[in-house]
Amino acid sequence: KNEVEQSPQNLTAQEGEFITINCSYSVGISALHWLQQHPGGGIVSLFMLSSGKKKHGRLIATINIQEKHSSLHITASHPRDSAVYICALLSGNQFYFGTGTSLTVIP
């Protein structure tokens, strides 16, 4: 049983497209993170959410606590957005990670 499910697993988009990556979870959480892992392997924390919506540049993250669902949106996608996007949960003292969504943006 996976506490965190991400979809899709793989996504290919044309430059400029609007992209949505979804994260569903089955545990109560105190925070949800969206992480970005670059092809070189480095991991960057994009957002931390406990409610509502956050925006940073072309990235938007939303969370619906009642539905146990979060989405990461990328507007006007660019090839440099190509990376693996990981949903991570903090539930009590436990940490749960999705297996990631591999995004490729084609010029």
Partner 1 sequence: NAGVTQTPKFRILKIGQSMTLQCTQDMNHNYMYWYRQDPGMGLKLIYYSVGAGITDKGEVPNGYNVSRSTTEDFPLRLELAAPSQTSVYFCASSSATANYGYTFGSGTRLTVV
Among 19, 21, 23, 35, binds partner 1 (CB under 8 A): 35
Residue 68 parent element (H or E): none
Residue 71 vs 91, nearer CB to partner 1: 91
CA–CA separation, 6 and 89 (whole Å): 12
Distance CA(13)–CA(61), nearest Å, equals 19
Closest CA to 88 of 43, 52, 58: 43
Find the shortest distance in angstroms from Cβ 80 to partner 1: 18
From 17-25, 63-71, 72-80, 96-104, give the range in contact with partner 1 by CB under 8 A.
96-104
Which residue is associated with the tokens 């430059």?
A: 15
Applying CB under 8 A, the residues found at the interface with partner 1 are: 4, 30-31, 33, 35, 41-45, 48, 50, 86, 88, 90, 93, 95, 97-100
